[in-house]
Amino acid sequence: MFSALVKFFTPKGKMLFFPLFDHAAQNVVAMAELLKKALNDTTSINTKDLYHRIDRLENIGDDITHHINIELSKNFITPFNREDIHALISSIDDVADYIHESANRMFLYDLQEFTKPMQVLADLILQGGLEMQILINELKDIKNTEKIAQYCDLIYATETKADHVYNKAVADLFEKEKDPIKMIKYQEILLGLETATDMCKDVVKVVESIMIKNG
């Protein structure tokens, strides 16, 4: 009788939460793709449309996070610890938040041109988002430790690259930029972009905690 109950409830928990995790990760990738386009688009009308689309996707991400948190209070059986589920979806949402924050600042500052380091950081955000999407999908088989560890390492490497790009960009900015207002704007945007990659690393830390508890 007990085994029948476990068989009935466990797949339901997986079917409920993992598609939501996947949706949240896919949403981050979609936001990152739009951000990359915005940083490579010189047409202000198109750029503003991209910013608005990022804004709408950020709201979708918030809805997914809220949905998961509501389901946590309603479901007795979950794929892993409730606190870890909350931490995982929150960390994914943080990536979306910083992509949105970066896009919002670019929109508010009405920047007409972007530096090469900004574009490289946008590329790395997208790369980290794609790696995170695969990592989240791999959690469906939590025993597949080798593949999960592989994508954890890839995200760490992407974040390290972003750190190097950011540090050099800021050093060059202070050395070469003479307009103090422009310097402040560029520095804030660079920081926002780099922080988005930091948030991908935070997703990895949550995944690693889940692996330790369930390994």
- C-alpha separations of 199 from 6, 88, 99, 129, 146 in Å: 35, 11, 10, 10, 22
d(CA 16, CA 156): 29
Report pLDDT digits (tens) over 16-51: 899 999 999 999 999 999 999 999 876 666 788 899
pLDDT of residue 2: 33
Domain count, the chain: 1
What's the domain range around 76? 12-214
Nearest-CA neighbor of 72 among 87, 59, 85, 62?
Answer: 85
Instruction: Please state at what angle helix 44-74 crosses helix 2-40, rounded to 10 degrees.
Output: 170
Domain annotation covers residue 2: no
CATH number, domain of 129, equals 1.20.58.220
Domain annotation covers residue 23: yes
pLDDT of residue 191: 97
DSSP string covering 110-177: T-S---HHHHHHHHHHHHHHHHHHHHHHHTTSTT-HHHHHHHHHHHHHHHHHHHHHHHHHHHHHHHH-
Domain annotation covers residue 3: no
**Angle (CA) 61 139 147, round 5°:** 125
Domain annotation covers residue 191: yes
pLDDT of residue 12: 54
pLDDT of residue 46: 76
Q: Is the pTM of this model over 0.85?
A: yes
* Residue 22: Cβ-neighbour burial (10 angstroms; 0-12, 13-18, 19+): middle
Domain annotation covers residue 153: yes
* Residue 149: Cβ-neighbour burial (10 angstroms; 0-12, 13-18, 19+): middle
Q: What are the mean pLDDT values of the chain's consecutive 10-residue runs (215 residues total)?
A: 40 73 97 94 75 96 94 82 94 98 92 91 98 96 92 98 98 91 94 97 96 85
DSSP string covering 77-110: --SS-HHHHHHHHHHHHHHHHHHHHHHHHHHHHT
Domain annotation covers residue 6: no
Which two three-digit tokens encode residue 75?
Answer: 């479901």
pLDDT of residue 166: 98
